[in-house]
Structure formats: structure tokens, C-alpha cells
Structure 1
Amino acid sequence: MIILEKQLQDECAEVEEAGKDQTEAANNAMDDAPPPAYSTHVQHTSSSGSTEFQPPSKPTNFLSLVLKDKPIRGCYVIDPRMEIPLNLLPPLNTGETDQERKNLFLRTKDGSIDADIWLVGQEEATPRSGRRTTLSLSSDDGSITAKINTVKVIAPFLLDIYSRDGRVTVLLPRSFHGSLLLTTRQSTKLSDDLMQQSTMLSTVEHTRRYFVGDTGDVSHRLFGNDWNGDELKVVSRDGRIIIRYKDEAELPKFGFFSRIFSS
């Protein structure tokens, strides 16, 4: 299923402008308040401050957009509970099974990706099924920016990003609770707020691993021997990686000395 990108961009801009005044107070309160107790905050809640806030367009599921020499820019609303008839679904990727099908798959060979992603949930939390929402973004030659918005209560998600030669910027919701696996030969930067919520787990050659949230809750979120909560995986061979909360101010650009002393 393909969504017209120009139409989505216009709708996103209109909705975000209309909701800006309504959500500003809630976001400011969120910044001043201490983080929630992750051991009891099992699933995401809407970051808009209102359960009545609506996504900018009609949701879809198992959306696949593959381009060769063009950038991908748009707003993509994903409802992982939505059932799509098999005959309308795109072909599976090589080695992929129906159970592994991505809820969102964006792929371009020579171009950048700028994705405003909305994950739609439901009014109340329900027992988790063991299946996460899976999002995959990749570009061989281009930068990638991914912003994650949540509507209502959503299940945990896995965001997998690959950019061979470009910078990767990820804007996470405050409710993110899980693992960061970041691989690059260049610098990696986490915002101050995100660092305060993160525990450094390991650094092996060009790969850094962090855990965001209360590490004491890990045993409650295991599926078999694997972590089944939120997870962000980023691989950028020759690009910098920047991770921050979506309601934080933009991080300063990398200069000569910041490249030397950056964590």
C-alpha cells in the first residue's frame, strides 16, 4: 500500500500546527516532571497529552515504499492491529516470513529519508501478545531522519535503521523504554535528557549499547531469552548518529572539537 507523500506532508503540517497550542502546556509539564516508573509503565501512552488527539491521516499497516534514486519524505500512520487482505500486501523481502513482515518498510538506494511516523494504539492497555510493531528504514547513500509519535496506548516497537554513508537522526517519544544498539565509525550523540534515563551497557569496537529506563524491569519484558520491549537499532558505516526525545530542542551541530570529544 502506497500513500501519496505530498498529501500526507500537507496533512501533517496542518494537524501539527492546529495541535501545537493544545499540547504545548502538556509538553512543558512533561519536561518538568520526573520520568514515570518504568516498572509499571508497560506500554506507551499518547505523547500529545490528550487521548482525543487524532493522527494526521487515515492509518494503514504493512506499508512498503521502495525507491531507487529518489528521497522518501512523508508522514506515515501505522496501526499494527489493522488487518490487510493478503492479496493487497506487498511481496515479502528475501528470507522474510509472514510473521516477520514489517509494519512499515521504507527503502531507497540513492536518496535521503525523512519520516514522520505515527503509531496508533487503543484507549486502554491490554496484555501483550509477544509481537512488536516493526519499522525498517534504509538508504545506501543518504541521511535518515525518523520521528516517532504515539497516539493512545501502543505496543512496544522495534525501529531498525541502516544508512551506509549518511547521518542518522532519531526523535523518540518520552515513553520509550528499551535497548539502543548504535553502530558507526563516526561519532554517536545522545541528548542530555536521554542520557539521564540511559544506562551504558557496552562498547565493542564501533558498537555502543544502552538501556533506556529501569534496568530492573528487564526480566518482566523478556520473550523467551530475547528482549521484547522497545528497541532501536541503528547502523551507519560513515555517518554520525544523533538520538534525542522528540520534544527536546535540536542538538548543536557537530564541530571540529565536538567530533574529537563527543561520546
Structure 2
Amino acid sequence: MPNNKQDQKTLLPTTVEILPTGLPPYTETAEFGPSSATAMEDWHPNAPQNNILIARTFGSVKSRFTVDPNIHPPRSLLRAVSAWEKEDGNFKTGDAVELDVGWGRIDAEVCVLPVSEGAVCEQNGYPCCPKKRGDHPPPCTIMSRLSVRTFIGDVTLKVDVGKLSPCTPRLNIYVMTVWGQVALFLPRSFHGPLVTSCSGTPRLSSTLARMSTPIKEVGREKRWFVGDVSAWRAGCEHGDNVTVGSSFGKVWVGYEGEEEEARRALRWGPVQWLAHIVPAVLTLWFLRIVLAILLWFMRLFLVSLAKFDTNAA
């Protein structure tokens, strides 16, 4: 029987020095390294997975996911990849985690494990973890997409990548809801564009706001750059990017460990009450119409049955 702890240790890379980007440091509890393999089991007890898809019309989703980009499920178990996902031929595409709910809340925690040092990209044959050159470690060529969508319901998403290294996959995070509010907790290593869209003013945590540079604001959409822009130009970044939005609700974005600040920022106001009451009223109105139609057909059936009995008599 294979040793699970030994297997986990082989997946966790040795810590290497990286170029500082002005981002806030990690805490001890946020680090994953060779000495904390058992801690990973405590935080994320479920087995590592990849290409996770949960889609449902009704019902909430509340779960933890451990994403291992080294796992390649059989193609027969995967959904078809769209042309939009294939447009970037230099990187491994496809959603590592995709949660799609019609009516319900989504509360998810995602831990993304590093790529094995000897892994090779399927598309171009280059190493996924290029060797360090000088003081500038090149970014990992693997991209982990996290897509979370719901039509009616709140979304809470926490993302963790452990200790940053050249084998840490790049993050492409998409979070969207129509009727609801969003709380997104990013890893403190996040470095790249942040795009928000909501009915009101998007809120960044105090720490994230200090790390962010406003770039563009057009209508409901606002864009920031998180981290050192000069490092992005020098090619020393990991290429993360986030798109988060809510059509009728608040949006809050911050770092792990800032749950209390998120709760204060997302207290319900008139817009939130309206966002939750309107769908309920529309649902009752729809059910009333359906019930009226069913009663009309039942009445018509009973009248027809009475006429048939009269003619038979």
C-alpha cells in the first residue's frame, strides 16, 4: 500500500527565493511546505482533485476542494472545452473548479497545490516549472481556472495556494452572481489585474486597497492592479487575474483571514433586502399563475366529464 504522507511530500516543492513585489507576508497558518504535509490534511481533508464540476438548478454548495494540477482525469469524465478556453494555446486550460448554481448560495474553499517540478506542458513540451534564472524566477506555465457562478444567492470563495514558488500555478478566478453579494478572499501572493462590477461601489479590504493601484473605471466596472506593476512589466509575476461581480448586490474583495472586515462591509442594506425580496415575490407570483392555470384545466376537465356523463345517461 502506498504511503500517502510520502506521496504528498513529493508534490510539495522546496521553497525558493522570489523577487519581492510589495505584497503582504504570509502568516504561519497560511504556509504549505515540506514540513507541513500533515497540516494540509487538517485544513483540506478531502483527496486532491482536478477539473471539478458541480452544476445544479436548485440547492446550495458548501464544500472544500483541494486542486492538484498534476492530476489528469480521463477525458470521458470531463465536459467539452469551449473554443474560448482553447484560445490560449501556450497554457493548459480548462476549469480546475467550476461551480454553477441557478438558485442557491455558494460557500467554497479552494486550495491549489503546486505543480511537480518535473512536469511538462502538454501543449508545447516546455517544463511547467522553469528553472530559476538570476534573481527573477519565471512564472509557472500552468493556469488554474476557478469559476463560480450563481443566479440568485450569495457567494463566498476562499482561495489558498500555500507557500509561493515558481511551481505555484497562475490563478484565473471568475466569480459572478445576479441577485446576491460576493465575498472573495484571495491568497496573499495574488499579483495581477483585479476587475470588479456591481450595482454599488466595490469594496476592497484595507490591506488589499494599499496593495492595489486604480487603473480604469467605466460605468459599473472598475479595474485595479494588485502588487508591483513594474514587476509585471519585467516578467517576474505569476500572471494572476480576477473578475468578480454582482448585478444587484455588494462585492467585497480581500485577503485570507479578513473575515470580520468582510462581515462588516457586507451588512445588509436596502439594496440587499430588495435583492432578496424581489426574487421571492416573483416566485410567488409565478407559482400563483401556475396554480391558476392548473385549476382552470381541472375545472375544464370536470365540466367535460360532467357533460360526458349526462350524454351517456
How high is the TM-score relative to the length of structure 1? Answer: 0.72
Which of the numbers 151, 159, 165 marks the counterpart of 2:162?
A: 151
- Work out the CA distance in 2 between the residues paired with 1:107 and 1:156: 22
The amino acid across from 2:129 in the alignment is T
Which of the numbers 94, 106, 109 marks the counterpart of 1:113?
A: 106
Q: Does 1:126 align with 2:129?
A: yes
- Work out the CA distance in 1 between the residues paired with 2:96 and 2:259: 29
SS at match of 1:135: strand
Paired residue for 1:48? 30
- Work out the CA distance in 2 between the residues paired with 1:150 and 1:256: 31
Q: Does 1:72 align with 2:61?
A: yes
The amino acid across from 1:76 in the alignment is F
How has the CA–CA distance of structure 1 residues 78 and 256 changed in structure 2, closer, same or farther, with 3 Å as cutoff? closer
- Stretches of structure 2 that go unaligned for 5 or more consecutive residues are 1-18, 118-127, 131-138, 272-313
Q: CA deviation at 1:91?
A: 3.9
SS at match of 2:179: coil
How has the CA–CA distance of structure 1 residues 253 and 212 changed in structure 2, closer, same or farther, with 3 Å as cutoff? closer
- Work out the CA distance in 2 between the residues paired with 1:50 and 1:157: 17
1:130-168 residue CA offsets vs partner (Å, 9 max, x unmatched): 441111000011111100112354211010011011101
1:85-120 residue CA offsets vs partner (Å, 9 max, x unmatched): 112223446865495421111000011110111111
The amino acid across from 2:45 in the alignment is P
- Work out the CA distance in 2 between the residues paired with 1:46 and 1:149: 13
Which of the numbers 238, 249, 255 marks the counterpart of 1:245?
A: 255
- Checking the alignment, whether the CA contact within 8 Å between 2:203 and 2:251 is kept in structure 1 is yes
Paired residue for 2:179? 165
How has the CA–CA distance of structure 1 residues 131 and 220 changed in structure 2, closer, same or farther, with 3 Å as cutoff? farther
- Work out the CA distance in 1 between the residues paired with 2:80 and 2:27: 32
The amino acid across from 2:95 in the alignment is K
- Stretches of structure 1 that go unaligned for 5 or more consecutive residues are 1-35
How has the CA–CA distance of structure 1 residues 83 and 256 changed in structure 2, closer, same or farther, with 3 Å as cutoff? closer
Moved more, 131-140 or 117-126: 117-126
- Work out the CA distance in 1 between the residues paired with 2:241 and 2:106: 20
Q: CA deviation at 1:256?
A: 9.2
Paired residue for 1:233? 243
Compare relative contact order (CA 8 Å, sep 6+) and give the higher one, 1 or 2.
1
- Checking the alignment, whether the CA contact within 8 Å between 1:159 and 1:233 is kept in structure 2 is yes
Q: CA deviation at 1:66?
A: 0.3
Q: Does 1:216 align with 2:199?
A: no
Matched ranges for 1:29-44 at <5 A: 37-38=20-21
- Work out the CA distance in 2 between the residues paired with 1:230 and 1:168: 19
Query: Once the two structures are aligned, what percentage of the paired residues are identical?
Result: 24
Moved more, 152-161 or 92-101: 92-101
Q: Does 1:60 align with 2:71?
A: no
- Work out the CA distance in 2 between the residues paired with 1:63 and 1:45: 28
Q: CA deviation at 1:206?
A: 0.5
The amino acid across from 2:111 in the alignment is W
- Work out the CA distance in 2 between the residues paired with 1:207 and 1:120: 31
Paired residue for 2:198? 184
Which structure has greater helix proportion?
A: 2
